[in-house]
Structure 1
Amino acid sequence: MASLPTSLDHCVIHVSDWERARKFYVDVIGCEAISRQGGYMFRLGDRQLNCHGKGVTAEPVARLPVQPGNSDLCFRWDGPIVGAVAHLKEQSVHIELGPVRRFGAQGDGTSVYFRDPDGSLMEFISYHG
């Protein structure tokens, strides 16, 4: 099968409290917060998290806005997973599962799972050892 000229540009999460989300996605995930429509979008490198929430209209394209707790996102942790565990503990973020072995976009890795303020599942995966 031939490769197509595509790559992931952005995905969408739900935000019920803009400032709580800004703090989480900046301090815990490491995103840049960009003001938009009374809220934020979050940029991580050349990828972006757009947000549905109060003051942001998902129409006409989204038939149903993303719901609280409805997303499941994995972020690559560049370093050993123990660094991600320590970071989450420093940020007072509860780890739901892990470290556990997982298979991600770069093959075998080790992951920890946690939640964002709206209950969406978050994962840090490390491919280091």
Structure 2
Amino acid sequence: MLAGIHHVAIIASDYQRSKRFYTHVLGCQIVDENYRPERDSYKLDLAIPGGGQIELFSFPDAPERPSRPEAQGLRHLSFKVENLETAISQLKSHHIEVEPIRIDPYTQCRFTFFQDPDGLPLELYEIGKSDTSA
């Protein structure tokens, strides 16, 4: 029935700040950007390398969503990387804090977490030879 993930939708508190983060820091490519005057809202479609998209929205007065500790709902968004140290170095060059590297006890693959400008938990998961789910 399912063929894959098409997109993940994110509502930003500061649209321009989040747009810069997802394009300049993470390297997502802009597919389309639309301002919807009837909603006073932007919708930005971003291509994720390797497939899938992020839909980045702005809405005036959107309520905050708790993300920690372990709130119900979407826990985090994970991105595949080929070299974890290189990806971490790139994030740190943009003054983004990154958690210590961990090892997945089931796949033995390495991963780490960081946050987007609104505190959304994001993960970098290193594609390893033993990881057949990537």
| TM-score interval for Structure 1 and Structure 2 normalised by the shorter chain | 0.7 to 0.9
Q: Deviations over 1:3-56 (max 9, x none)?
A: x3521111111211111011100122210133123342221133111134226x
Distance 1:92 1:98, change over 3 A: same
Q: Which residue of 2 aligns with 1:13?
A: 10
Distance 1:35 1:73, change over 3 A: same
Structure 2: how far apart are the matches of 1:44 and 1:125?
Answer: 14
TM-score normalised per structure 2: 0.70
Structure 2: how far apart are the matches of 1:69 and 1:76?
Answer: 25
Identity %: 19
Structure 1: how far apart are the matches of 2:53 and 2:66?
Answer: 18
Report how many residues are paired.
Answer: 113
SS in 2 for 1:8: coil
Q: What 5-or-longer segments of structure 1 have no aligned partner? A: 56-64
Structure 1: how far apart are the matches of 2:104 and 2:23?
Answer: 25
List structure 1 segments (4+ residues) > 4 angstroms apart after TM superposition: 65-71
Deviates more, 1:68-77 or 1:81-90: 68-77
Matched, 1:44 2:48: yes
Q: Which residue of 2 aligns with 1:75?
A: 79
Higher strand share: 1
Q: What 5-or-longer segments of structure 2 have no aligned partner? A: 36-41, 68-73, 130-134
Equivalence map 1:44-123=2 (5 Å): 44-45=48-49, 46-54=51-59, 68=65, 70=67, 72-79=76-83, 81-95=84-98, 97-102=99-104, 107-123=107-123
Structure 2: how far apart are the matches of 1:73 and 1:121?
Answer: 7
Q: What root-mean-square deviation, in Å, do the aligned CA atoms of Structure 1 and Structure 2 show?
A: 2.6
TM-score normalised per structure 1: 0.72
Matched, 1:124 2:124: yes
Paired amino acid for 2:101: P
Structure with more contact order per residue of length (Cα contacts < 8 Å, sep ≥ 6): 1
Structure 2: how far apart are the matches of 1:5 and 1:68?
Answer: 28
